[in-house]
Chains A and B, each alone.
Chain A
């Protein structure tokens, strides 16, 4: 069974940084592309970032480009999202996803940015 477990969320001040992690199990992590998606309170889904299975290729939404960095450690079956220069509008639940087509989702990690 595919399992994706996010961690690292919490309360952070505006302008601060946070690093989210996603622990993957139940599949060969190194063979899959991975993605991050978020959802602000009461709002729709927003795609954020993608990383290829090898980590060589990454893409970002314009809203986070230059502030967020996606990375992975295939030896640890883990996906990461480094978030810098956080803003109030980054407050959201952040979901880790398997694949570029978002086949499987984690339970999400809540990030709250307070000014």
Chain B
């Protein structure tokens, strides 16, 4: 099975900051990576798929990059509504696997 390792597991940042979250795969997954955002008590929402494709309706301050084994989610200018937990998911093969999550908190 493919293991997904996210870093950091938690971080704090201020409104307006540029934030980067990293996800590493235990083997080459090409560009088969998605990013999800989950706010407390809410259903997860897909932000990015195939590493860099922005889900319809998601603000352009969110971007994804990477291929192979290393991927990043970048929020270019953090907004108050972006404080949440973010998860990566490899959609290269089954079983699918999520990263452990990154909790983004207000500084």
Are the chains A and B members of one assembly? yes
Query: Which residue on chain A has the smallest CB distance to residue B98?
Result: A45
Residues of B within 8 A of A61 (CB): 95
Which size class do A's interface residues fall under? 10 to 19
Chain B proximity of A88: nearest CB distance (Å) = 21
Closest to B43 in A: A105
Question: What's the nearest-Cβ distance from chain B to residue A55, in Å?
Answer: 16
Report chain A residues within 8 Å CB of B101: 44-45
Interface residues contributed by chain B, number (CB under 8 Å): 21
How many whole Å from A15's CB to the nearest CB in chain B?
Answer: 25
Q: Give the distance in Å from the alpha carbon of A95 to the alpha carbon of B87 in the complex.
A: 15
* A102-B89, A105-B44 known; A62-B1 Cβ under 8 A: yes
Given A102-B46, A105-B43, check contact A45 B95 (CB 8 Å): no
Chain A residues within an 8 Å CB radius of B97:
47
Q: Is A50 on the interface with B (CB-CB < 8 A)?
A: yes
> Residues of B with Cβ closer than 8 Å to A?
1, 34, 36, 38, 43-46, 49, 55, 87, 89, 91, 94-101
Chain A interface residues toward B at CB < 8 A? 35, 44-47, 50, 59-62, 95, 100-103, 105-108
